Amino acid sequence: MGQELKQQVEYLVMDLKAYEDYEYGRKGLRHAVKTELDLWKQADRRIKGQELQDALNSDWKTFSSYRSDGNHLRIEDKHGHLLAYCLPIPIQYTETLAATADLIPISKSKEHMRGQTSEKYWGLWRKYKMEPYMSLEYKKDLPASQQWLDANQPYFKHMSNILRILDPQMYVRYTSINRFLPEDLRPSCGIWYACGILRGMTDGGTPHKDASDYHCGLNVNTAWGDFTTATMVFWELKITVEVKKGEALFFLPRILTHNAVDVQGGVRNVVDAFVHENVLSWKDKQHKRVTRYLRGGPRRKRRKLGLGELRARNMGESSTEGAEKVPESIQREETSDTEGEMEALYHRGVEEDTEEEEDQD
């Protein structure tokens, strides 16, 4: 059972007590709840898969269209979660992208899901390796690759600041890798770890998701070239967004099936800044190791606090009952944690955490 599913089952069974009257078989209540959740999720995936297939069989020209008018455009779900954001950016950034294009070594154009284009991927990578490293293309194209990245850092820094406003939690998550990387290894594109440079587009690509990217992470792309406008299709949402030269687009490329269509006015070149899931998962492992969260680290023992102990802990006072039972380390604490206070309010009792070292396996 996955950790997330296990936590969900525990919450439903133990905390919410939603299954107290549920009829379950010989394998136990938790197994029955897990099975039901699995079946429900499978059905949900089938429905969403069919909805996506129906959308893919549709003509994108019939979708709701958002035309570029020089203002900011925010697209979110019914819960207020950001799905895409389009905005104009200062002209000097696209001018620099165009002026530094000659630094990008020429590579063969080929047909793929993003259309007929050449590709370069420069930045922090971790494919088929245990530790992060700079991508092989970046190393092969040195020193030009680093010169291009250096010249365009003002653009990446500007977009990083925009993400800090749009989603500060994601900004912090992306930047959290820096403390774990060696001194000679850093994200290449502001807070984004790497970028793809796609050149020579004159037509659209095919619908796709970016399967290697962080599963709920926002990418950002900006285009330069002779083109005037292009249209991004988001198939699950059944919408299209017009993106003109001089605008940037944030979106969730691993969640939303997307592709560019209807490129107008000439050649379109794109820089797409992203974070790969496997690099961020490496950071998470380092964090767990440092904080001793992994197996063999400190475990928590739980002990119920009595009413007198609770009062002593919350009020900074000692009662007769509390003085006899509360350890000295607890008596010195002035306040309880929020979880403890909530449990007391709902008469569930308060549990105190005590550290205990577990032997290494």
User: pLDDT tens digits, residue range 195-230?
Assistant: 999 999 888 788 999 989 998 899 999 999 999 999
Which is more confidently placed, 345 or 137?
A: 137
Please state which of the ranges 22-31, 130-139, 309-318 shows the lowest mean pLDDT: 309-318
pLDDT of the residue at 119: 92
The verdict on pTM exceeding 0.85 is no
Res. 132: pLDDT tops 80:
yes
pLDDT of the residue at 315: 55
Closest of 274, 277, 227 to residue 247, by C-alpha: 227
- The arithmetic mean of pLDDT across residues 12-23, rounded, is 82
Res. 353: pLDDT tops 60:
no
- The arithmetic mean of pLDDT across residues 289-304, rounded, is 57
Which is more confidently placed, 361 or 281?
A: 281
Which residue intervals of the chain are DSSP H helices?
3-10, 29-56, 91-99, 136-140, 144-151, 153-166, 168-175, 277-290, 307-315, 320-325, 328-331, 338-345
Distance CA 252, CA 235 (A): 12
pLDDT of the residue at 296: 44
The torsion angles phi and psi of 184, rounded to 5 degrees, stand at -90, 10
Largest CA distance in the chain: 83
pLDDT of the residue at 303: 53
Q: What angle separates helix 3-10 from helix 29-56, to the nearest 10 degrees?
A: 120
Check: CB of residue 263 under 8 Å from CB of residue 204.
yes
Which is more confidently placed, 151 or 1?
A: 151
Which is more confidently placed, 69 or 315?
A: 69
Split at pLDDT 50, 70, 90, the class of 148 is very high
Res. 20: pLDDT tops 50:
yes
Res. 277: pLDDT tops 70:
yes
- % of the chain residues with pLDDT over 70: 75
pLDDT of the residue at 293: 57
Which is more confidently placed, 18 or 324?
A: 18
Res. 337: pLDDT tops 60:
no
Closest of 64, 53, 50, 47 to residue 237, by C-alpha: 64
- The arithmetic mean of pLDDT across residues 299-318, rounded, is 51
Check: CB of residue 85 under 8 Å from CB of residue 74.
yes
Distance CA 326, CA 72 (A): 57
pLDDT of the residue at 226: 95
Q: What is the DSSP string of 74-108?
A: EEE-TT--EEEEEEE--HHHHHHHHHTGGGS----
pLDDT of the residue at 229: 95
pLDDT of the residue at 110: 76
Strands 133-134 and 194-201 come out as unpaired
Give the up-direction half-sphere exposure of residue 67: CA atoms within 13 A in the CB hemisphere.
Answer: 1
What single-letter DSSP state applies at residue 157? Answer: H
pLDDT of the residue at 12: 84
Neighbours of 125 (CB within 10 A): 22
Residue type, 63: F
**Residue 231 CB contacts under 8 Å (≥ 6 apart), including other chains:** 60, 65, 240, 241, 242, 243, 260, 261, 262
> Which structure tokens are listed for 220?
């950002």
Split at pLDDT 50, 70, 90, the class of 338 is very low
Strands 64-66 and 239-244 come out as parallel
- % of the chain residues with pLDDT over 90: 55
Which is more confidently placed, 9 or 262?
A: 262
Which is more confidently placed, 46 or 247?
A: 247
Check: CB of residue 226 under 8 Å from CB of residue 237.
no
